[in-house]
Amino acid sequence: MRLTRFAALALTGLLAAPLAPAAAAPGPGSPTAGDPYYPGYGNGGYDVRHYAIDLAYDVPSGHLAGDTTVRARASRGLSRFNLDLELRPRRAWVDGVPASWSRQGREVTVVPVEPLRRGQVFDVRLTYAGVPGDKGRGYLGGWTETRDGGFAAGEPEAATLWFPSNDHPVDKARYDVRVTTDATKDVVSNGTLVSREDLGDGLATSHWRTRDPMTTYLATVAIGDYEIREGTSPGGTPYVFAINEHLGRAVRTSATRSVARTPDIIDFYSRIFGAYPFETSGGIVVRPPIGFALENQTRPIYPGQFFTYGRNVGVIAHELAHQWFGDSVSLRRWHDTWLNEGFATWSASLWAAHDGGAGLTRQFRRNVRLMDRTDGWRTKVEPAPRGDIFDGAVYRRGGLTLQALRNRVGATTQERILRTWATRHRYGHGTTAAFVRLAERVSGADLGPFFRAWLHTPREPAHTRANGFPRSMR
């Protein structure tokens, strides 16, 4: 995620809730994934394999009717279990048998007629409806209704406004998204277009599929009037760009020229971080000034406001770095945001240096000065501030940490660390502790004091070679 400078930060932290104990007899699934920062997010007791999301979207009213089947495996015997959804459920089935359900806030509890056995793979189907756009959370994103359609984009949550899920990055799954809407509208989602079928009566159904596991907040769909451009990068990765047709001409031109760098950036990163993890790439440029760009898997979303002052390749390089760091290697806990944002910040600087911009040292000296000016050194990188996991200091100091690591262990070793991280945890998860262990193993250096100074101490690291902080970084 990349915020505009003016985005107001209004995240709130919640108190931790206890986890349900594991038991041999069927019991209730936990209503939380156990994230200390967001105990309301996610659930326990099952592991989602696949989402089949079927939407009917009425553009004039913004009304969404959903019919989603979640295929999951029970990780314990379940008498009931929860899904996260903010729209109103209508009916529920488990393996085709009607099931009862209740709802409290965003928690939907489904009670199957027969308890589920541990290890059982089951299908839970929910129909639901509502106008998701009336629940917009401003800076947090979610579902944004537009005059020509609507789109889903938000972090750390957006999924609850358009499909029922286990809404936490810890549970990845594959997706099939089918949207039926006005046949004159374009529909773009993650992955690859499987089919587009004209139903007559002015309606059409578009079907998109993701090949690789994806976390819920990275799933997106954009419905509206888009100019679609397709092709394949020199390195062989197909791409789909969708540029909203209602953007002003100058912004549209700048946006188009900026996203057009996507294939070059992906091929460049592939040489440094290892093969691009997904089967396709691209991007969606939307019209509303939502205040952030987001690294939706295979298809990042950029609001036109990022291109108001001309070309902006920096934001493209940032969101594309997330395809490796954030999308393929995902967070296990939200307080580790630097593993996404620090990595994307540093990677975008690496691209800029490669693309004729300032060298890494010069860019990071600038960031050190910014840290001074914003009093950012008082912010620990990990854990990220509770209630403000997207604090600018997490981005800047997280990026500086990777540059300091480069200064400490050398460019070749630092890049080998990042490539090993991206490869070993591909389609999985990472934690700060796992990254520190890996960095020590690959470099052969004792980096404990280094990472303590950079990540966990609320003041500027001492200017020592051991801290990777030579004079040139000032």
| Contacts to Zn ion by CB under 5 A | 1-2, 341, 344
Q: What is the DSSP letter of 427?
A: T
Coil vs helix vs strand at 199: strand
Q: Helices 448-455 & 392-409, crossing angle to 10 degrees?
A: 160
- Toward Zn ion, which CB reaches closer, 159 or 218? 218
Pairing mode of beta strands 107-111, 97-104: antiparallel
CB of 332 to Zn ion, least distance (A): 17
Contact call for residues 146 and 108 (beta carbons, < 8 A): no
- Toward Zn ion, which CB reaches closer, 1 or 70? 1
- Toward Zn ion, which CB reaches closer, 264 or 341? 341
Upper half-sphere CA count for residue 225 (Cβ side, 13 Å): 8
- Toward Zn ion, which CB reaches closer, 2 or 252? 2
> Residue 463 contacts by C-beta under 8 Å, 6 or more apart in sequence?
469, 470, 471, 473, 474
Cis check: omega of the bond before 289, within 30 degrees of 0: no
Contact call for residues 133 and 62 (beta carbons, < 8 A): yes
* Number of C-beta neighbours around residue 222 at 10 A: 26
CB of 396 to Zn ion, least distance (A): 12
Q: Which residues lie across from 180 on neighbouring strands?
A: 56, 205
- Toward Zn ion, which CB reaches closer, 2 or 178? 2
Coil vs helix vs strand at 113: coil
CB of 322 to Zn ion, least distance (A): 6
Six token digits for residue 267: 């091929």
- Toward Zn ion, which CB reaches closer, 162 or 346? 346
Six token digits for residue 456: 């966990």
Contact call for residues 220 and 153 (beta carbons, < 8 A): yes
- Toward Zn ion, which CB reaches closer, 2 or 185? 2
The CA distance from 417 to 254, in Å, is 35
CB of 183 to Zn ion, least distance (A): 35
CB of 373 to Zn ion, least distance (A): 21
401, 323, 314: which is closest to 349 by C-alpha? 314
CB of 344 to Zn ion, least distance (A): 4
The CA distance from 177 to 154, in Å, is 18
CB of 337 to Zn ion, least distance (A): 9
Q: Which residues lie across from 64 on neighbouring strands?
A: 57, 130
CB of 210 to Zn ion, least distance (A): 20
The CA distance from 283 to 465, in Å, is 41
- Toward Zn ion, which CB reaches closer, 8 or 25? 8
CB of 66 to Zn ion, least distance (A): 28
Pairing mode of beta strands 203-214, 173-182: antiparallel
- Toward Zn ion, which CB reaches closer, 341 or 391? 341
